Amino acid sequence: MTLQRTSLFLIAVGVFAIANAQPSHSQTVKVTQLGSHDNEFCALDRAMITEDADGTRMLYDAGRTVRGPDDPRLGNINAVLLTHVHGDHLGDVIQPSANAGECGKPDFSVKATPKSNTVDIVVAKKAQLLVGSEMASFLAKKIGAAGGQPSQAMVVRFGASRKVGGVTVTTVPAVHSNGLADGFLEGDFAKQIADNGVTISLGPATGYVLKFQMA
């Protein structure tokens, strides 16, 4: 999907909206869905890429349908945005190949835990990971253990902004649960969490407002 040049893009938990804040120009912002099946919009599709006219590319919720960091649809990624840590957004499993399974029941047979698909992509692409809550400290540890720099995980506190290339990213709280499945945990602690039937919450979910600058 290619959008006529606009300057404000709002992403929350699975919801986005576009608002025009500048006069229309010939430049465009591209929004590309990264679903499980070509030419389909399937129930478990979460991921999308926004690309500013200046080339800044941001991946939103890698989830299960981005087939790891080597997925040819990714290309260069400057920043990754993560709304919350549920497996279908953080990425607990991924497809082995394009169009594997059916749209209503994709084949997600490749395990991505305990690191996550998101962490693998952030490390491989040397991208920033922007979140608005306590998710950052947990994911910084994962990124460091996977060979990246913990500093790649950045907290952008709700209402604050950070600029990546020509795009200004502002975070807002989103109303959604944010519990971490025990499959992303390791060692005795993971077993204790599972045995007690509890879920760790990593703070409020995050929504994003993206403001695109003129290239």
Tens of pLDDT, residues 150-205: 999 999 999 999 999 999 999 999 999 999 999 999 999 999 999 999 999 999 99
The top-level CATH class assigned to 2-176+204-212 is alpha beta
Close Cβ partners of 214 (under 8 Å, ≥ 6 residues apart):
22, 25, 27, 53, 166
pLDDT of residue 209: 95
**For the whole model, what pTM was predicted?**
0.89
Domain extents in the chain: 2-176+204-212
